[in-house]
């Protein structure tokens, strides 16, 4: 295999940055919504985020993994991912519960904040895995041709914008400040760049990891959506508000369904 030129490497790196940070910029506009507006809109934004996460897992990531490995391997990987995220969530819950045992009055507020932030932490982990898998796809396309690399990057960018919007919404609702949400989501987004460089430099090894990474990312989205977000939507609300939340969740699903029809 010939050694890529410096200019080729720069093109690959720019594609990685476009695929990672390009999706963050429009999505982070939610950070600049006034607090009063954002608090009123949060239930609907979370409903939309729930729809996008579930749809991304079921009609986006899992079918893409099935194109590369058997249904049995995908099933095992998804189950392993669900167990992994259950353990991660349990560890966070246990740590805060253990800390509260020593002084219930002093730690009550910290416990509530920590329990809320666990969802944000799981989102960041799952998103980093998903971004890395996207980066590997971009790197493999760049290795085939620059044109295919650009098209693949734009396709990834298209489906990542609503996903990053959902991530920002969940992080804010989990108690992250605006700038902490921006910092950690940006760091997670750089997983795309890591995947691009890894795929372009060690294509044979990186491509083999993609379907398993997609399956684990799907597991994270399913776990967060069903275990953490959906129960919150069942809180007591008026019939009209509940109908709007349901409509927003369906809108999130339709958004991802439409974007998955774009070849990438």
Mean pLDDT over 240-248 rounds to: 90
* CA-wise closest residue to 133 among 162, 166, 156, 161: 156
* CA-wise closest residue to 208 among 77, 106, 40: 77
The answer to whether residue 2 scores a pLDDT higher than 70 is no
Torsion over CA: 36, 241, 253, 259 (sign):
negative
Count of H-run helices and E-run strands, the chain: 11, 0
DSSP assigned state of 69 = S
Structure tokens at 32: 């600049």
The mean-pLDDT minimum among 18-32, 48-62, 77-91 falls in 18-32
The mean-pLDDT minimum among 26-35, 41-50, 81-90, 221-230 falls in 26-35
* CA-wise closest residue to 164 among 261, 56, 248: 56
pLDDT classification of 94: cutoffs 50, 70, 90: low
pLDDT attached to residue 74: 96
Q: How far apart are CA 150 and CA 242, in angstroms?
A: 41
The answer to whether residue 100 scores a pLDDT higher than 70 is no
pLDDT attached to residue 247: 95
Q: How far apart are CA 78 and CA 37, in angstroms?
A: 37
* CA-wise closest residue to 20 among 119, 128, 125: 128
- When the pLDDT of each residue in the chain is averaged and rounded to a whole number, the result is 79
Q: How far apart are CA 220 and CA 36, in angstroms?
A: 30
* CA-wise closest residue to 151 among 140, 162, 166: 140
pLDDT attached to residue 110: 52
pLDDT attached to residue 83: 93
């Amino acid at each position: 295999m010939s050694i890529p030129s410096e200019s080729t490497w720069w093109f690959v790196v720019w594609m990685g940055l476009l695929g990672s940070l390009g999706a963050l910029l429009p999505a982070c506009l939610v950070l600049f919504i006034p607090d009063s507006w954002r608090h009123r809109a949060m239930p609907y934004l979370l409903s939309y985020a729930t729809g996008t996460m579930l749809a991304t897992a079921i009609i986006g990531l899992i079918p893409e993994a099935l194109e590369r490995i058997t249904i049995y391997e995908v099933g095992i990987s998804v189950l392993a991912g669900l167990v992994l995220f259950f353990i991660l969530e349990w560890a966070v819950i246990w740590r805060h519960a253990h800390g509260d045992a020593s002084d219930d009055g002093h730690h009550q507020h910290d416990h509530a904040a920590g329990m809320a932030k666990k969802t944000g932490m799981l989102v960041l982990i799952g998103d980093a895995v998903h971004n890395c898998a996207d980066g590997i796809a971009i790197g493999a396309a760049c290795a085939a041709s620059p044109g295919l690399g650009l098209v693949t990057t734009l396709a990834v960018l298209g489906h990542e914008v609503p996903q990053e919007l959902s991530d920002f919404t969940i992080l804010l609702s989990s108690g992250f400040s605006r700038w902490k949400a921006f910092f950690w989501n940006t760091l997670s987004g750089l997983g795309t760049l890591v995947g691009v460089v890894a795929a372009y430099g060690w294509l044979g090894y990186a491509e083999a990891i993609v379907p398993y990474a997609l399956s684990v990312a799907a597991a994270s989205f399913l776990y967060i959506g069903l275990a953490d977000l959906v129960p919150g939507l069942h809180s007591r609300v008026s019939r009209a508000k509940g109908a709007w939340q349901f409509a927003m969740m369906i809108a999130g699903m339709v958004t991802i369904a439409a974007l998955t029809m774009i070849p990438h």
